[in-house]
């Protein structure tokens, strides 16, 4: 039981309480738990995940959410506001991502997050070709997010994995060309990818897609709401959005650098026919004629309201200012890495970066950084550490702390080069865990970890 969260401080509910508990006590407990957990990122030492990191902004979004939290967006006659928020979020995102000059009819779909947007893109390409292709495939750079593999698994679309150049960490275009066949429905590029923050050559992928007459999805889940402002500010970022000829869909997560609450993302389509291809209809169901735009049925109007509120309140200048701070902070943090000959930054990243250590296991660096409160993400093949710079890192003193702690961590790693490191590569978790086991053992370990997170307390 000791491992069950907060079991020492609060009663564990194994059954529904017979008599309801007081609202005040419930809220007091939640405030206590949140106040214990927030300091893990408030220091600015946690990679990614808390994109805005500003409690005033969160309070504002929570107020917006509260007006519509109880509303089900399925019942549009009761909440035309949901149509207003949804349509305007899509319009603003399409505009931001270069849909303005397109000749087709650009369209969008709001989903529950990046993985869901990617899943819907994969589904749309499958459905668009359903009449002519039985066994569709798509080609993704190895560095593209596992959400593509998951979607392929769910929807029966084969994911062909293109290698990336080890220096640039960008997709190998000739491999892609060689592996397109009559069953290929779309190519994939990232702007930018999760692991290294590098952007695939989208213009060249677009040319290939047009030549070979296949779709092209750009995964801007991470970059979609920050890279446009980076380009506007003059950072060296190649074109990556819907304005690039050949790009047919692009995902961009409002719940990341869009600074909205967790639970929304926008999937943009260069043409609405592709979006409409994945709608689900059941016209002859006894419960009534059924149609849904995405995988969800009921959805809370609160999330649409909060997302709309974040976008409209920040405006272009707000996003631009945040992007500027983040790009400058990322550059300063990278400089600290570059000041150590032992470390190597992978590729040419922008606002997130990853580094490895050719002569020792970089997980030693992480072992030490963890003792100083840093929470970086571990990666593998090669072992590397990833830092997605968000607003908490832009606070005063964080870059200086990074430089000092990193220098001490490199000293520690050099001194412990012969030992086994403790850290490992677990996506979305603190970088700790098994490092050199076989795939079967790792699957066992991960299944066990999932199981523990869902299990009933004894
Ligand atoms: C590039 C990229 N694509 C997709 C995703 C998946 O997004 P989500 O976790 O919202 O499902 C992520 C998540 O970090 C990402 O970085």
**Residue 1 pLDDT more than 60?**
no
Cα 9 to Cα 2, 4, 15, 448: the distances in Å are 11, 11, 18, 25
Q: Classify strands 265-269 and 249-252 as parallel, antiparallel or unpaired.
A: antiparallel
CB 144 within 8 A of CB 151: no
Q: Which of 225, 219, 294 is nearest to 260 (CA)?
A: 225
**For 201-313, where are the E strands, in sequence order?**
215-220, 249-252, 265-269, 280-282, 290-292
Testing ligand 1's pocket by substitution, the residue of 46, 47, 114 carrying the most ligand atoms inside 8 A of its CB is 114
Cα 362 to Cα 343, 393, 442: the distances in Å are 8, 22, 20
Testing ligand 1's pocket by substitution, the residue of 144, 194, 263 carrying the most ligand atoms inside 8 A of its CB is 194
Residue 79 lies in a domain: yes
- Helices 146-155 and 114-128, interaxial angle, to 10°? 50
**Residue 2 pLDDT more than 60?**
no
CB 401 within 8 A of CB 392: no
Domain CATH number, residue 73: 3.40.640.10
Mean pLDDT of 144-155: 98
Ligand 1, atom 14, lies closest to the CA of 194
Mean pLDDT of 262-280: 97
pTM recorded for the entire structure: 0.95
Cα–Cα distance, 53 to 32 (Å, whole number): 18
Q: Per the structure, how many domains does the chain have?
A: 1
Residue 457 lies in a domain: no
Assign 353 a pLDDT band (cuts: 50, 70, 90).
very high
Span 201-226, pLDDT tens digits: 999 999 999 999 999 999 999 999 99
Q: Is the CB of 257 under 6 A from ligand 1?
A: no
Span 180-207, pLDDT tens digits: 999 999 999 999 999 999 999 999 999 9
**Residue 234 pLDDT more than 50?**
yes
Residue 317 lies in a domain: no
Q: Is the CB of 147 under 6 A from ligand 1?
A: yes
Percent of the residues in the chain that have a pLDDT greater than 70, as a whole number = 97
**Residue 407 pLDDT more than 60?**
yes
SS (H, E, C) 62-79: HHHHHHHCCCECCCCCCC
Residue 55 lies in a domain: no
What pLDDT was estimated at residue 440?
A: 75
Span 67-121, pLDDT tens digits: 999 999 999 999 999 999 999 999 999 999 999 999 989 999 999 999 999 999 9
User: Which structural domain range is residue 210 located in?
Assistant: 68-310
Residue 371 lies in a domain: no
CA of 416 to the centre of ligand 1 (A): 34
Residue 11 lies in a domain: no
Q: Tokens representing 110?
A: 């709001």
Residue 72 lies in a domain: yes
8 Cβ neighbours under 8 A, 6+ residues apart: 2
Assign 449 a pLDDT band (cuts: 50, 70, 90).
confident
Residue 137 lies in a domain: yes
Span 31-69, pLDDT tens digits: 999 999 999 999 999 999 999 999 999 999 999 999 999
Q: Tell me the pLDDT of the chain averaged across its residues.
A: 94
């Amino acid at each position: 039981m000791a491992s069950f969260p907060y079991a020492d401080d609060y009663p564990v509910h194994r059954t529904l309480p017979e008599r309801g508990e007081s609202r005040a006590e419930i809220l007091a407990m939640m405030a206590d738990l949140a106040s214990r957990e927030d300091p893990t990122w408030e220091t600015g030492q946690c990679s990614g995940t808390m994109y805005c990191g500003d409690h005033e902004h969160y309070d504002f979004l929570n107020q917006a959410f509260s007006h519509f939290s109880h509303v089900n967006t399925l019942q549009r006659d009761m909440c035309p506001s949901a149509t207003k928020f949804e349509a305007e979020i899509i319009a603003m995102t399409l505009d931001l991502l270069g849909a303005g000059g397109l000749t087709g009819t650009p369209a969008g779909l709001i989903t529950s997050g990046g993985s869901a947007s990617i899943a819907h893109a994969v589904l749309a390409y499958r459905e668009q070709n359903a009449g002519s292709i039985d066994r569709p495939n798509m080609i993704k750079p190895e560095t593209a997010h596992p959400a593509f593999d998951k979607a392929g698994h769910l929807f029966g679309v084969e994911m062909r994995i293109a290698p990336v150049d080890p220096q640039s960490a960008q997709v190998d275009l000739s491999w892609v060309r060689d592996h397109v066949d009559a069953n290929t429905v779309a190519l994939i590029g990232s702007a930018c990818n999760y692991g290294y923050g590098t952007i695939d050559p989208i213009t060249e992928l677009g040319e290939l897609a047009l030549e070979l007459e296949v779709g092209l999805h750009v995964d801007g889940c991470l970059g979609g709401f920050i890279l446009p402002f980076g380009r506007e500010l003059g950072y060296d970022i190649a074109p990556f959005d819907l304005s690039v000829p050949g790009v047919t869909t692009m995902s961009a997560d409002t719940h990341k650098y869009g600074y909205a609450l967790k639970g929304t993302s926008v999937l943009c389509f260069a043409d609405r026919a592709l979006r409409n291809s994945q709608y689900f209809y059941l016209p002859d169901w006894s419960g009534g004629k059924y149609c849904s735009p995405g995988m969800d049925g009921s959805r809370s109007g609160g999330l649409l309201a909060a997302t709309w509120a974040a976008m409209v309140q920040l405006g272009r200048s707000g996003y631009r200012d945040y992007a500027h701070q983040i790009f400058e902070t990322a550059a300063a943090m990278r400089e600290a890495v570059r000041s150590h000959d032992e470390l190597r930054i992978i590729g040419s990243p922008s606002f997130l970066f990853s580094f490895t250590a050719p002569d020792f296991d970089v997980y030693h660096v992480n072992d030490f950084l963890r003792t100083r409160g840093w929470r970086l993400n571990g990666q593998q093949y090669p072992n590397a550490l990833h830092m997605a710079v968000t607003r908490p890192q832009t606070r005063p003193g964080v870059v200086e702390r990074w430089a000092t702690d990193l220098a001490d961590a490199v000293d520690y790693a050099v001194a412990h080069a012969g030992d086994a490191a403790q850290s490992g590569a677990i996506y979305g978790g603190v970088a700790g865990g098994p490092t050199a086991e076989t795939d079967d053992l790792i699957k066992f370990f991960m299944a066990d970890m999932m199981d523990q997170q869902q299990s009933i307390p004894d």
